[in-house]
Amino acid sequence: MPLLALEKITRRFGPVTVLDGVDFTVEAGEVHALVGENGAGKSTLMKILSGALAPDAGTVRWQGAAVRFDSPRAARAAGIAMIHQELALVPALSVAENICLGEAQSWWRPVDYRNFENSARAVLERLGQPIDPRTPVGRLNLPEQQMVETARALRQKARLLILDEPTASLSAQQSEQLFAVLRRIRTEGTAIIYISHRLEEIFALCDRVTILRNGRRVHCAAVGELSMAAVVRHMVGRTLEPTGTPAASQTGRPVLTVHNLCCGRLRNLHLELRAGEVVGLMGVAGAGRSRLVRTLFGAQRPEAGEIVLDGRPVVWRSPRDAIARGIGLLGEDRKRHSLLPERCVRENMALVSLLGRARWGVVEQYRERSACRALGGQLRLAPRTQEMAIRALSGGNQQKALLGRWLLAGCRVLLLDEPTRGVDVEAKAEIYGLIRALAAGGTAVLVVSSDLPELTLLAERLLVLQGGRIVGEQRPPYDPRALLAQALGVAAEDG
Q: Which of 208, 236, 264 is a domain's end point?
A: 236
Number of domains present in the structure of the chain: 2
Return the minimum-mean-pLDDT range out of 107-116, 117-126, 267-276, 385-394: 107-116
Residues 86 and 335 sit within 8 Å (Cβ to Cβ):
yes
**Pairwise CA distance, residues 462 & 351, whole Å:** 31
Question: Span 445-456, mean pLDDT?
Answer: 88
Residue 35 has pLDDT above 80, yes or no: yes
pLDDT of residue 241: 47
Contacts (Cβ under 8 Å, ≥6 apart) of 285: 141, 143, 170, 171, 173, 174, 450
Give 5-22 pLDDT, tens digit per residue: 999 999 998 777 889 999
pLDDT digits over 57-76, tens only? 999 999 999 999 999 889 98
Quote the mean pLDDT of the chain: 85
pLDDT value at residue 49: 94
| Banded pLDDT at 346 (limits 50, 70, 90) | confident
**Which residues, other chains included, contact 171 with Cβ-Cβ below 8 Å and sequence gap of 6+?**
143, 284, 285, 450
Query: What's the CATH code of the domain at 97?
Result: 3.40.50.300
Q: Are both 188 and 333 inside the same structural domain?
A: no
Confidence check: pLDDT of 114 > 50: yes
Say if CB 44 and CB 11 are below 8 A apart. Answer: yes
Closest to 190 measured CA to CA, from 221, 166, 142, 155: 155
Same domain as 85, residue 119: yes
If asked whether residues 289 and 427 sit together in one domain, one would say: yes
pLDDT tens digits, residue range 396-419?
888 888 988 888 888 899 999 988
pTM over 0.85: no
Q: Which helix (H) or strand (E) holds 67?
A: strand 65-67
Each residue of 139-162: pLDDT tens digit? Answer: 987 778 878 888 888 787 789 999
Judgement on whether residues 140 and 226 belong to the same structural domain of the protein = yes
Residues 304-327 have pLDDT tens digits of 999 999 999 999 999 999 999 999
Give the model confidence (pLDDT) of 237-294 as tens digits.
755 444 455 655 556 789 999 999 999 888 899 999 999 999 999 987 668 888 999 9
Would you say residue 249 lies in a domain?
A: no
Q: Please say whether the dihedral angle defined by the alpha carbons of residues 240, 246, 247 and 249, taken in this order, is positive or negative.
A: positive
In a domain, 244, yes or no: no
Q: Model confidence at 466, in pLDDT bands (50, 70, 90)?
A: confident
Confidence bin at 107 (pLDDT 50/70/90)? low
**Is there a single domain that holds both residue 299 and residue 158?**
no
Instruction: Give me the phi and psi of 6, to 5 degrees please.
Output: -100, 125
- State the residue range of the domain holding 163: 4-236
Could you tell me if 297 and 414 lie in one domain?
A: yes
Look at residue 243 in the predicted model and tell me its pLDDT: 46
The answer to whether position 19 is within a domain reads: yes
